[in-house]
Amino acid sequence: MNIEDIIEEKNLKRTPARTELLEIFHTQNKPIAYEDIKGLIRMDKATFYRNVSKFEQENILNSFESNDKKRYYEIQKNLHAHFICNACNTIECLQDFEMPELEGYKIEDTIFKGLCKACNH
């Protein structure tokens, strides 16, 4: 689904900031924080957070806080787990991990923490 379709489907006003953010999130293959893209965007920090908050409300983005106390965001495509390295703070998407099903529960996020392959040597 392209960015214009996402904005239209959610009945959001199409603004340059929203379009720019969705294009960036759409091209990433891992979760990103404001600090990762602040040099790439043409908006202030308040505009960034206001828009990602709206995207979360509309179930366009998922977010979580990492060990480094930063909030990371990614386009909500499919439910998957994440691995966060306790040594280098690298975040990996675990697409092949089968999410558990718990009767009566709705799982929204699963995060594993430990040492990544590089730090485990």
Q: Would you list the domain boundaries of the chain?
A: 3-75, 81-114
Q: For the domain made up of 3-75, give the CATH fold.
A: Arc Repressor Mutant, subunit A (1.10.10)
Nearest Cα residue to 12 out of 45, 55, 53, 50 = 55
**Maximum C-alpha span of the chain:** 49
E strand residue ranges, the chain: 32-33, 61-65, 71-75, 81-85, 91-94, 111-114
| Close Cβ partners of 37 (under 8 Å, ≥ 6 residues apart) | 24
1: pLDDT confidence band, cut at 50, 70 and 90?
low
Q: Tell me what the pLDDT averaged over the chain comes to.
A: 92
Does residue 87 carry a pLDDT above 70?
yes
Whether 107 shows a pLDDT value over 80: the answer reads: yes
Confidence of residue 113 (pLDDT cuts 50, 70, 90): very high
pLDDT for 25-74, tens place per residue? 999 888 999 999 999 999 999 999 999 999 999 999 999 999 889 999 99
Over range 78-107, report the average pLDDT: 90
What the block records as the tokens of 77 is 């495509």
| CB-CB neighbours of 102 under 10 Å | 8
Find the mean pLDDT for residues 69-98: 91
